[in-house]
């Protein structure tokens, strides 16, 4: 995190794959983000891959501790007419009061935060009863795809500053005490094999 070489490299890579990711998961994200309130809290927004799905005028509380993401994130917010409140705390310790938020977004972040259990606990804490965590994450695979993940794990972890392709994020979410967790599991048609399979859905406090 905030590594002077990998930070800028990671930010440039995320920005470079922005349109590609949109082609892969754009329809799914449009469905997931169909009904957002004006204020959205997003953990680890990176360079702003999700901003194209938010309505102009959205108040985005962006919890992004990696400063190398900030310039591109600010530029994306300006381009999309998003009212950006950029903060550098981590998802494991969110500086928001209990039960104060209606929607938290996390896409491809619970793979990277150092302590995913703590991050999900914090997300649940800041959500109001009935509030929603909207997530899209890559998760641990079995069989042949699991072997591919094991081979890719170390370089992937280096390049993407801590991304662990072997996490059982579905289990983390289901064990976190949400009132409900609804998700779909799917395979991307992508050359980026280690980030398959994925889960996307909603956890309601
Ligand atoms: C793979 S990128 C995903 C970026 C973006 N959400 C997307 O879908 O393209 C992971 C992001 O999580 C951020 N991150 C890493 N550790 C974090 C933490 N402890 N709290 C919040 N964000 C974190 C990284 O800086 C990075 O922006």
Whether 106 lines ligand 1, by a CB cut-off of 6 Å, is no
Kindly tell me the sign of the dihedral angle through the C-alpha atoms of 194, 197, 202, 205.
Answer: negative
Which residue has the CA at smallest separation from atom 17 of ligand 1? 113
Residue showing tokens 């903060």: 87
Backbone angles phi, psi at 103, to 5 degrees: -140, 130
Sheet with 83-87, side-by-side order of all strands: 83-87, 59-63, 39-43, 101-107, 127-138, 198-204, 180-186
* Structural contact between residues 111 and 167, judged by C-beta atoms closer than 8 angstroms: yes
| Per-domain residue ranges of the chain | 6-204
Q: How many residues make up the chain in this entry? A: 205
CATH architecture of the domain with range 6-204: 3-Layer(aba) Sandwich (3.40)
Determine if residue 57 is left, alpha or beta; phi over 0 gives left, psi from -120 to 50 gives alpha, anything else beta. Answer: left
Which residues is 204 bridged to in the sheet?
Answer: 132, 180
Cα 135–112–106 angle (5° rounding)? Answer: 20
Q: State the pLDDT at residue 93.
A: 97
In ligand 1, the atom with minimum distance to the C-alpha of 136 is 8
Helix (H, G, I), strand (E, B) or coil at 163: coil
Whether 196 lines ligand 1, by a CB cut-off of 6 Å, is no
CA 97 → CA 123, 124, 125, 203, distances in Å? Answer: 11, 11, 8, 19
- DSSP class of residue 189? -
Alpha helices in 50-185 (DSSP H): 70-80, 116-126, 143-159, 169-174
Would you give per-residue pLDDT tens digits along the chain (205 residues)?
778 888 888 888 888 889 999 999 999 999 999 999 999 999 999 999 999 999 999 999 999 999 999 999 999 999 999 999 999 999 999 999 999 999 999 999 999 999 999 999 999 999 999 999 999 999 999 887 889 899 989 988 988 889 999 999 999 999 999 999 999 999 998 887 888 999 999 999 9
Q: Measured between alpha carbons, how far is 44 from 64 in angstroms, rounded to an integer?
A: 5
Q: Measured between alpha carbons, how far is 185 from 13 in angstroms, rounded to an integer?
A: 25
Backbone angles phi, psi at 177, to 5 degrees: 90, 20
What's the gap in Å between 1 CA and the centre of ligand 1?
A: 9
Whether 53 lines ligand 1, by a CB cut-off of 6 Å, is no
Q: State the pLDDT at residue 143.
A: 84
In ligand 1, the atom with minimum distance to the C-alpha of 163 is 1
Q: State the pLDDT at residue 161.
A: 86
């Amino acid at each position: 995190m905030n590594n002077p070489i990998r930070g800028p490299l990671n930010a440039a890579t995320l920005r470079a794959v922005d349109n590609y990711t949109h082609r892969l998961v754009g329809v799914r994200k449009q469905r997931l983000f169909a009904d957002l309130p004006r204020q959205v809290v997003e953990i680890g927004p990176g360079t702003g891959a999700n901003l194209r799905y938010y309505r102009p005028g959205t108040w985005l509380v962006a919890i992004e501790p990696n400063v190398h993401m900030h310039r591109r994130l600010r530029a994306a917010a300006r381009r999309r007419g998003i009212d950006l409140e950029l903060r550098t705390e981590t998802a494991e310790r969110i500086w928001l009061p209990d039960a104060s938020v209606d929607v938290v977004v996390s896409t491809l972040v619970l793979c990277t935060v150092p302590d995913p259990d703590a991050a999900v606990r914090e997300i649940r804490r800041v959500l109001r009863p009935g509030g929603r965590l909207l997530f899209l994450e890559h998760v641990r695979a079995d069989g042949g795809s699991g072997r591919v993940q094991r081979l890719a794990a170390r370089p992937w972890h280096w390049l993407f500053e801590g991304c662990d392709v072997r996490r059982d994020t579905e289990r983390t979410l289901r064990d976190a005490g949400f009132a409900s967790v609804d998700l779909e599991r799917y395979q991307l048609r992508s050359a980026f094999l280690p980030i398959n399979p994925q889960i996307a859905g909603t956890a309601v406090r």
